[in-house]
Amino acid sequence: MSDHDHPRAIGGKPFDPLMKTLLAIFGVSAVVMVYRFFTGVGPVSNMTDGFTWGIWEPVNVVVFTGIGAGAYGVALLCYLLNKGKYHVLVRPAVLLGAICYTLGASSIVIALGRYWNSYWLAVPTMWNLSSALLEVAVCVLSYVAVLWIEVLPSVLDGAAQSKSSAWSQLGRTWGPLLAKAMPYIIALAILLPTMHQSSLGGLLLIAGPKVHPLWHTALLPTLFLISCLSMGYGAVVVLTTILNLTWKAKHDQRLFAEMSKVNAGLLLLYVVLRLGDIAIHGKLAYLGFNGYTLLFVVEIALFLVPAFMFFSPRVQQNKGRLFGAALLTVAAGASYRVDTYLSVYRPAPGWDYFPSFGEIIVTIGMAAIGMAIFIFISRMFPVVVVETRDHSHAGSGRVLTAGSR
Amino acid sequence: MSISRRSLLKGAVVAGAATALVGRAEAREEVEPRPDAVGMLYDSTRCIGCRACVTRCKEANSLPYDRTAEGIHDAPTDLNSNTKNIIKVWTAGEKSAFTKQQCMHCVDPSCVSVCMMGALHKEGEGKRDFAGEKKGTGVVLYDKGTCVGCRYCQIACAFNVPKFEWFEAFPLIVKCELCRHRGDPKKEGPLAIANPACCEACPREAVVYGKREALLAEAKRRLAEDPKRYNGLIYGEKEGGGTQVLYLAGAGVTFKQLGMPELPEESSASFSERVSHAPYLHGITPIALYGAMAFVIRRNKSKEEASEHHGEGK
């Protein structure tokens, strides 16, 4: 990698039409959220005692954090396996992760019935360690903090370059200190998602009688862990391609192709484990002409198609095709997660569910504010590495590997 | 290509380290019925569907009457946040059988296993000390002070018993607590612990309250005394790790027809905890993993800086 890979603040007008649209969408969802605190969850949702999590948990938490797992995936490659070439992806991936996880955690507060009791989570003697959800809650909250600490180097970099001497001083003092602590923070940033992403699958182990046998398996934690990585790598390619189109972000096709081969391996590993598990436990009999089989086939296809695409040179060399394949991996993980939590979840005969307008608008609004935050921070602080021939940016943040940010 | 394959392999090893051991289940002791556990025995063949128990349950627990959108007064069709106990009927042609639903007070309850801060807990075995709670009764109690309303209990309960107050700004989880508040310490035996209003109300002793052991013996006695009357099984003796509320059903009627889920002998809580706890090795795995990763990442960083220092770049 060259020395020219400096992330730069994008700058520009903060309130462009896109930003206004995103904020308007969030505004509508915010009305629903505020209303919910006065009336309870019932009036704004179609959730029932049978489908008690609606779409908020399956989508806002389980899918959003899967997309945010790009930060985890890139950290694994870049820091643990010491592949310095992936460094250009770290800052956007970490920012995406920080935003996705923050949205997931905030969505939970909206969904919790007795949110004011959450303070007990800070008291370890109260923890019921048998609860997969406790593990997820504690781990996700800590990870949100860790992710924002990981975003700090961008902010401190930005501060160091600031014209204001106070800000500049702040950036210059704290930047290097943070860089020293970074390896210990990054180790945490790898450990925590390993734990809670598998626990997100583990959550449904106890719901055995309610989850369709094709999906309910002791491998749930493993499959959720693999699917978060495949979603994360896909999301990073998707994000960076979009940034390239809009802000001329550096787009290293070879690097993406290489990372996508790692992803292809993960996708295939998922399919092998999934099919093998079903075959070994004699669950093939559940396949037939029914809706569950259709969901299952679509899911497996969504994992297989991008895996084979990633191995094809025609895809590896083409920005558009690689983007398409990456998008499919995100869809694959998302469909697996939503299927497991919702589509194949049947509490008992007689229960039915379709999300209400209120539920959908909250989910869309959360996604919108997430994009708005990403755009805002990228405009203000050096996050994105921009394609440039200009060598005069000597003062901007130099990118090093292995936690030296 | 070779590099990426290698990194893939390494990546898979590292990322999968925590879950790779899933297959090798760690021993999690099966929860046995507590010797002093109390519960109920419901005999579907004795029930005439008078619903006196439903009404008395509401009175005893100060639950509001239920109202449908059409204005039908207090005729709930299922358990809900106003209804902790309900009588249902199963019909097929000429045949019909009544069934009763309320909390089963499982021996190894899923709701207790999943509850983050022990809001749902076995009496006297919660995360906080509650004055007056007596360990060993096995009654599943609710503490609104530590409940965050996450509703994981509703996902976990195979019987769909816990209900949520959907239309309240400050909602509660509602479920049968075996009328523990009606227990009278001055009385002898099980009545000192609890006194379910439904059992008190039943005119035909279709549902009776007592120690689980005694109820199990009574169920067996009834089966032996009149084998033609029953289907020969006791639901809750083993199902889902056992429950403290036991069921008898008439000849030719299955428990599934009465709305009870078909459950394996291992409790869902035991299965779930066994699988999820295995890779943690009592907390050793995360600590070891963290230490190893911090070491590798720091070493990588020093190497990086050394090569930078020598002006080699990369």
Residue B18: per-residue pLDDT: 41
Q: What are phi and psi of A231, to 5 degrees?
A: -65, -45
Which band of pLDDT confidence, cut at 50, 70 and 90, is reported for residue B8? Answer: very low
Q: What is the pLDDT of residue B147?
A: 96
Rounded to whole angstroms, the Cα distance separating B109 from B223 reads: 27
- Assess contact for A260 and A310: CB atoms under 8 A: yes
Contact at CB, A209 and B261, closer than 8 angstroms: yes
> Is the CB of A266 inside 8 Å of chain B's CB atoms?
yes
Interface of A with B in 268-287 (CB under 8 A): 269
Beta strands across the sheet bearing B38-43: B207-211, B38-43, B245-248
Answer whether A76 touches B (CB < 8 Å).
yes
Bigger pLDDT: B204 vs B67: B204
Percentage of chain B beyond pLDDT 70 is 89
Chain B residue numbers with beta carbons less than 8 Å from the beta carbon of A50 are 160
Render the burial of B57-93: b for 16+ CB within 10 Å, e for the rest.
bbebbebeebeeeeeeebebebbbbbbbbbbeebeee
What are the C-alpha distances in Å from A109 to residues A105, A226, A273, B91, B167? 7, 27, 34, 43, 17
Q: What is the DSSP string of A359-393?
A: HHHHHHHHHHHHHHHHHHHHHHSS-EEBP------
Chain A residues whose CB is inside 8 A of the B167 CB are 39-40, 42-43
Distance CA B63, CA A189 (A): 48
User: What pLDDT, on the 0 to 100 scale, is given for residue B248?
Assistant: 97
Among A385-389, B92-96, B187-191, the range scoring the smallest mean pLDDT is: A385-389
Interface contact flag, B22 A134, Cβ < 8 Å: no
Query: Looking at residue A56, what DSSP letter applies?
Result: I
Mutate which of A55, A121, A146, A194 to test chain B, going by most B C-beta atoms within 10 A?
A194
Verify whether the Cβ–Cβ distance B151 to A53 is below 8 Å. Answer: yes
Question: CB under 8 Å to A391, separation ≥6 — which residues?
Answer: A4
Beta-carbon separation of B12 and A261 below 8 A: no
Least confident window among A130-139, A146-155, A218-227, A396-405: A396-405
C-alpha span between A263 and A245 (Å, rounded): 23
CA angle B224, B89, B81 (to 5 degrees): 115
- How many residue pairs from chains A and B have C-beta atoms closer than 8 A? 252
Interval B3-14 mean pLDDT: 49
Q: What's the rounded Cα separation, in Å, for the pair A358 and A338?
A: 18
- Which pair of structure tokens corresponds to residue A230? 């495949």
pLDDT at B68 over 80: no
pLDDT at position A395: 39
Query: Of chain A residues 138-157, which have a CB less than 8 A from chain B?
Result: none
Q: Please report, for residues A25, A280, A294, B69, B115, the alpha-carbon distance to residue A276 in angstroms, rounded to integers and kept in the order given.
A: 44, 6, 18, 49, 33
The answer, for A219 touching chain B at a CB cutoff of 8 Å, is yes
Chain B residues touching A269 at Cβ < 8 A: 12
Q: What is the pLDDT of residue B25?
A: 41
B115 vs A131: CB contact, 8 Å cut-off? Answer: yes
| % of chain A at pLDDT higher than 70 | 94
Q: Do B301 and A112 touch (CB under 8 A)?
A: no
Contacting residues for A241 by C-beta, under 8 A, at least 6 apart = A251, A319, A322, A323, A326
B80: nearest CA partner in chain A: A49
Chain A residues with CB inside 8 Å of B296's CB? 80
Cα–Cα dist A131/A136, whole Å: 9
Angle at A78 between CA A77 and CA A84, to 5 degrees: 125
Contacts of B191 (CB under 8 A, 6+ apart): B183, B184, B209
Q: Which residues of A fall within a CB distance of 8 Å from B23?
A: 218
Chain A partners within 8 Å of B8 (Cβ): 261-262, 265-266
pLDDT over threshold 60, residue A181: yes
Residue type for position A200:
L
**Cβ-based neighbours of A28, under 8 Å, separated by 6 or more:** A361, A365
Task: Report yes or no: A198 and A221 within 8 Å, Cβ to Cβ.
Answer: yes
CB-based contacts of A270, cutoff 8 Å, min separation 6: A223, A226, A227, A230, A303
| CA-based torsion, A340, A343, A346, A352: positive or negative | positive
Dist CA A285 CA B313 (whole Å): 58
Question: Using one digit for the tens of pLDDT, what is the confidence trace for B136-194?
Answer: 999 999 999 999 999 999 999 999 999 999 999 999 999 999 999 999 989 988 999 99
Least confident residue range of A75-89, A270-284, B105-119, B136-150: A75-89
Query: In A204-252, which residue ranges form alpha helices assigned H by DSSP?
Result: 220-247
| Helix, strand, or coil (residue B53) | helix
Hey, are the CB atoms on A113 and B80 less than 8 Å from each other?
no
Q: Residue B293: its chain A contacts at CB < 8 A?
A: 80, 186-187, 190-191
> Whole-angstrom Cα distance, residue A192 to residue A131?
16
In this prediction, residue B138 carries a pLDDT of 94
Inter-chain residue contact B166 with A47, CB threshold 8 Å: yes
In chain B, what residues touch A134 (CB-CB under 8 Å)?
116-117
* Chain A residues with CB-CB distance to B106 below 8 A: none
Is residue B125 within 8 A of residue B135, CB to CB? The reply is yes
Q: Does A124 contact B at CB distance below 8 Å?
A: no
Q: Which of B20, B296, B313 sits opposite A80 (nearest CB)?
A: B296
Asked whether A56 and A33 are in contact (CB, 8 A), the reply is no
Query: A-chain residues within 8 Å CB-CB of B305?
Result: 400, 404
Residues of chain B with Cβ-Cβ distance to A352 below 8 Å are none
pLDDT at B117: 95
Q: At what angle are helices A17-39 and A357-380 packed, to 10 degrees?
A: 130
Query: What is the rounded average pLDDT for all residues in chain B?
Result: 88
Best A48, A130, A231 residue to mutate vs chain B (most B CBs within 10 Å): A130
What per-residue confidence (pLDDT) applies to B154? 97
| Cα–Cα nearest to B115, from B302, B272, B303 | B272
CA B244 to centroid of chain Cα atoms: 11
Q: Using pLDDT thresholds of 50, 70 and 90, give the confidence band for residue B310.
A: low
The average pLDDT across A172-181 equals 88
Q: What is the mean pLDDT of chain A?
A: 90
Least confident of A19-23, A32-36, A168-172, B34-38: A168-172
Out of B15, B261, B290, whose CB is closest to A225? B15
Tell me the shortest Cα–Cα distance from A383 to chain B, in angstroms. 21
The answer to whether B248 touches B221, Cβ cutoff 8 Å, is no
Q: What is the pLDDT of residue A403?
A: 41
Q: Are B139 and B123 in contact (CB under 8 A)?
A: yes
* Res B277 pLDDT > 90: no
Task: State whether residue A209 sits within 8 Å of chain B by CB.
Answer: yes
Q: What percent of chain A has pLDDT over 90?
A: 75
Measured between CB atoms, does A225 come within 8 Å of chain B? yes
Distance from CA of B237 to the nearest CA of A (A): 18
A18: closest CA of chain B, how far (Å):
35
With bands split at pLDDT 50, 70 and 90, how would you rate the model's confidence at A39? very high
pLDDT tens, residue by residue, A233-262 = 999 999 999 999 988 888 889 999 999 999
Which residue on chain B is closest to A192 by alpha carbon? B286
**Averaged pLDDT, B42-53:** 96
The distance in angstroms from the start CA to the end CA of chain B is 20
Q: Say which of A77, A114, A222 has its CB closest to residue B11.
A: A77
Residue A121 has which token pair? Answer: 């989570």
- Check whether A89 has a pLDDT greater than 80: yes
The two tokens of residue B294 are: 């911090």
| Listed residue (B112, B169, B164) closest to B141, CA to CA | B112
Mutation target to probe the B interface, by most B beta carbons within 10 A, among A39, A82, A114 is: A114
With CA atoms as reference, report the closest residue to B100 among B47, B60, B170. Answer: B47
Choose the weakest-confidence range: A3-12, A50-59, B143-152, B287-296: A3-12
In this complex, the residue of A43, A135, A207 whose CB is nearest that of residue B167 is A43
Residue A405 predicted with pLDDT over 80? no
Three-state secondary structure call for residue B99: strand
Note the ipTM here.
0.90
- In angstroms, the separation between the Cα of residue A217 and the nearest Cα of chain B is 10
Beta bridge partner(s), residue B209: B40
- Check the CA dihedral A30-A36-A37-A38 and report its sign: positive
B56 or B69, which is more confident?
B56
Q: How far is A106 from chain B (nearest CA, A)?
A: 13
Calculate mean pLDDT across residues A140-169: 89
Mean per-residue pLDDT, A369-388: 90
Nearest-Cα residue of chain A relative to residue B279: A195
A-chain residues within 8 Å CB-CB of B126?
none
A328-372 tens-digit pLDDT: 999 999 999 999 999 999 998 889 999 999 999 999 999 999 999
**pLDDT at residue A401, as a whole number:** 40
